[in-house]
Amino acid sequence: MEQKDIATPVRTKMLLDKYGFSFKKSLGQNFLVDTNVINNIITASGITEQSGVIEIGPGMGSLTEQLAKRAKKVLAFEIDQRLIPILEDSLSPYNNVTVINEDILKADVKAAIDEHLTDCQEILVVANLPYYITTPILMGLLEQQLPISSYVVMMQKEVGERLSAVPSTKSYGSLSIAVQYYTTVEKVMVVPKGVFMPPPNVDSLVVKLTALNEPAVAVNDEQLFFKLTRGAFVQRRKTILNNYMSLFQNSKEHKEDIISWLERSGIAPSRRGESLTLQEFSELSNNFDKFSNLSI
């Protein structure tokens, strides 16, 4: 008799009982138990038999199992030591899966790619991300500029909305800018909380990030660009001038310089950070070195 997919309430409960596993709230563990959702995620990712897939937080292997059936190789990072024997059991039919018991935020992902996925035509990330560290995971991977062509990732709906947000909307902020600097973002589907065990408190959103060949805007100094974008949103209701007065050293002495720099970049000092486009932030960043009195 063929075994049921892991992504069903019956099989997940069977594994939970077999291993006496208890969920750790601190690790944001919510296991997906709906094969339709998983199939939609996999369809959106466009996996082929030549793909190498990185998964983060495989849990009991519900998504991993379906990835293994379609991809050339799957490399999964799981922080919880207690899940390793369960994954060895649940994924035993698949010889193309490697599970690494490491925190993705501390792991050398590039070295792992070099060791396990060099014979794959493309590398994708497909994952149900732990909600409490979604942003650090995504930004950590994007900033390393790894050879990853796309990300199809599930996250808290509110965070997913921020990734695709446009200027002058409530969800738009420094995270929107950072992600859109590196990728194009599209929403795939809303996932109701009832398809998880245990159910989280909020609905989820699956988004697809497709890596750009080069950043969306040209900047001379990426570190400065990101400092300026973050600084513009410290207090959303404040004008960009007031936020930058808090960001810069000795800003009271150099208020006129800050105003001149903003105006030279085509930005009215009375505007709010949430109204600026990526292009406008790049103008600010690239004009900054013309004002030697200003320092962050």
DSSP 3-state assignment of 204? strand
pLDDT of residue 121: 96
Q: Which residues are annotated as a binding site?
A: 30, 32, 57, 78, 103, 128
Angle at 108 between CA 77 and CA 183, to 5 degrees: 80
C-alpha distances (whole Å) from 166 to each of 161, 226, 274, 276, 282 are 10, 17, 9, 10, 16
Q: Is 2 within 8 Å of 93 (Cβ atoms)?
A: no
CB atoms under 10 Å from CB of 106, counted, come to 9
pLDDT of residue 1: 37
At a CB cut-off of 8 Å and minimum separation 6, what does 246 contact? 231, 234, 235
- Read off the DSSP letter of residue 271: S
Distance CA 233, CA 34 (A): 38
pTM summary value = 0.90
> Helix, strand, coil: what percent of the chain each, to 5?
45, 20, 40
C-alpha distances (whole Å) from 252 to each of 152, 235, 284, 285, 293 are 45, 18, 19, 20, 12
Distance CA 6, CA 278 (A): 42
Instruction: Tokens 């950043």: give the residue.
Output: 215
Would you give the distance in Å from CA 250 to the centre of its chain? 35
At a CB cut-off of 8 Å and minimum separation 6, what does 159 contact? 131, 134, 135, 175, 205
Q: Residue 293 — pLDDT band, cuts 50, 70, 90?
A: confident
Of residues 28 and 276, the one with the higher pLDDT is 276
Q: Parallel, antiparallel, or unpaired for β 204-211 and 150-156?
A: antiparallel
Instruction: Tokens 């959106």: give the residue.
Output: 44
pLDDT of residue 253: 81
Please tell me the class of the 9-211 domain.
alpha beta
In the chain, which segments carry CATH 1.10.8.100? 222-290
Instruction: Tokens 């009832």: give the residue.
Output: 194
At a CB cut-off of 8 Å and minimum separation 6, what does 224 contact? 285, 288, 296
In the chain, which segments carry CATH 3.40.50.150? 9-211
CATH superfamily of 222-290: rRNA adenine dimethylase, C-terminal domain (1.10.8.100)
pLDDT of residue 140: 93
pLDDT of residue 149: 97
Q: Residue 31 — pLDDT band, cuts 50, 70, 90?
A: confident
At a CB cut-off of 8 Å and minimum separation 6, what does 9 contact? 33, 197
* Least confident stretch, 28-37, 54-63, 163-172: 28-37
Q: Which residues are annotated as a binding site for S-adenosyl-L-methionine?
A: 30, 32, 57, 78, 103, 128
- Percentage of the chain beyond pLDDT 90 is 74
Give per-residue pLDDT as tens, 67-125: 999 999 999 999 999 999 999 999 999 999 999 999 999 999 999 999 999 999 999 99
pLDDT of residue 197: 83
* pLDDT at position 185 over 60: yes
Distance CA 94, CA 145 (A): 30
Q: Is 150 within 8 Å of 210 (Cβ atoms)?
A: yes
Give per-residue pLDDT as tens, 236-276: 889 999 999 988 877 788 899 899 999 999 999 999 999 99
pLDDT of residue 30: 83
Q: Residue 3 — pLDDT band, cuts 50, 70, 90?
A: low
Average pLDDT, the chain: 92
